[in-house]
């Protein structure tokens, strides 16, 4: 079995670092600040998409992204925490599955965070934003992860907290599990999967128990 995890809202909570970095970029470029709730509603999308949807004109978007990353790199480790039971989820999952991370977050920062938490060693692959041309919900991130793993190892599952994770899974032809520990609502997740749990640990226990019928799950 192969289990691919999203990061933000699935294994980690970096909301504080994300918000602070957006406001840093707005301030540096003397642009109107978006409301925190607006920023949070867009988490999971690529940074350029997020800035564009907060009113930053296309010609300036990448300057804002660069400023965001400049600040985020400095504060990410101090202002990011593992979600409850995330460590247990990874440690249980590694006992019976090959693990990977598929995120829209910059891969460099993602790796640094997971190394900080002492969990990176359990993952065979990490696909971040810079590793693909087309981020989630396009299937390329999952396809690239499986390619780097040398192909699918039995059943393949994607665990994520937003519709982008689940659509990516569907488009890549793998099964998706939604978790409500992050930024997507149960109602939204329900549109894309019938398999939804409170957090990644519950999802892993479900997979470890093998109490699913592969013909009925997507």
Angle 107-116/58-75 helices, nearest 10 degrees? 20
> Which residues does 117 contact at the CB level (< 8 Å), separation at least 6?
12, 82, 87
Q: Which of 6, 8, 13, 131 is catalytic?
A: 6
Residue at token pair 């990490």: 126
In the residue annotation, 13 being an active-site residue is answered as: no
* CATH class of segment(s) 15-75: mainly alpha
Angle 58-75/15-28 helices, nearest 10 degrees? 130
Residue 210: predicted pLDDT: 76
Domain ranges of the chain: 2-13+81-209, 15-75
> Which residues does 67 contact at the CB level (< 8 Å), separation at least 6?
24, 25, 28, 29
Residue 216: predicted pLDDT: 38
Distance CA 114, CA 102 (A): 13
Residue 191: predicted pLDDT: 96
| pLDDT tens for each residue of the chain, 218 residues long | 999 999 999 999 999 999 999 999 999 999 999 999 999 999 989 999 999 999 999 999 999 999 999 999 999 999 999 999 999 999 999 999 999 999 999 999 999 999 999 999 999 999 999 999 999 999 999 999 999 999 877 799 999 999 999 999 999 999 999 999 999 999 999 999 999 999 999 999 999 987 654 433 43
CATH 3.40.50.620 fits 2-13+81-209, yes or no: no
- Taking every pair of Cα atoms in the chain, the longest distance, rounded to a whole number of angstroms, is 54
Q: What are phi and psi of 84, to 5 degrees?
A: -55, 130
């Amino acid at each position: 079995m192969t289990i691919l995890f999203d990061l933000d809202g699935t294994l980690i909570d970096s909301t504080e670092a994300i918000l602070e970095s957006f406001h840093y970029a707005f301030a540096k470029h003397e642009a109107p600040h978006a409301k925190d709730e607006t920023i949070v509603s867009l988490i999971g999308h690529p940074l350029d998409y997020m800035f564009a949807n907060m009113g930053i004109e296309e010609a300036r978007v990448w300057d804002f992204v660069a400023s965001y990353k400049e600040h985020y790199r400095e504060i990410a480790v101090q202002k990011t925490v593992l979600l409850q039971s995330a460590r247990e989820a990874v440690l249980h999952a590694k006992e019976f599955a090959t693990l990977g991370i598929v995120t829209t977050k910059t891969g460099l920062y993602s790796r640094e965070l997971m190394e900080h938490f002492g969990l990176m060693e359990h993952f065979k692959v990490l696909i971040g934003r810079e590793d693909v041309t087309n981020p989630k919900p396009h299937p390329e991130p999952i396809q690239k992860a499986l390619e780097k793993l040398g192909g699918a190892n039995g059943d393949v599952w994607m665990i994520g907290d937003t519709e982008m994770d689940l659509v990516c899974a569907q488009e890549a032809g793998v099964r998706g599990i939604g978790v409500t520990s992050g930024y997507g609502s149960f109602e939204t997740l329900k549109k894309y999967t019938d398999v939804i749990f409170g957090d990644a640990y519950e999802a892993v226990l479900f997979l470890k128990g093998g109490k699913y019928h592969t013909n009925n799950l997507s």
